[in-house]
Structure 1
Amino acid sequence: MAKAINGSRPPSFVSIATLARELDMSESNVRSMVKRGTLPPPIQLSTGTVRWKWSDIQGLMGGEGSSSQVPKADPYMLGALNATKA
């Protein structure tokens, strides 16, 4: 992940490269999961600059809720959620 600001604070918004690296998948997989609705769409910060809100991704992966909140009950994301609970 990108270098933390002020010690342990992660960046508020992450690029597709950082998101793919954190989720241990390719950028094309990230795009595919956004297209399927499994991951939230990026936010356009300025012309040509899109980022994902890291807190949204953490909420999805970090168990802030149940697996029923995973969009369309995607098997990949359900598996990832279960792995983070172990």
Structure 2
Amino acid sequence: MPREIMNEKPIEYQAKNGTQFKSERGDLRCDVMVTPLQGATIENKMADFTEFGAWHSLIVRPRLNGFSGYDSIRYQLSIA
């Protein structure tokens, strides 16, 4: 059975240290909304960004039929 293409599917991920990442599209053409856990240290936030990138690279990217690259992602920080 072929894998579902995720370019136009919304994605959501919560990293180990509590930061939430959401995008309207799996190919990240829309902004990625980032909501860190209140009171998280800068080290934990940075670790969560790294974790999100690895998750996207391993889980989502293989299911895309096109991707602009990780250097083109626009992040929008949201304060919970």
More helix by share: 1
Q: TM-score, normalised by structure 1?
A: 0.24
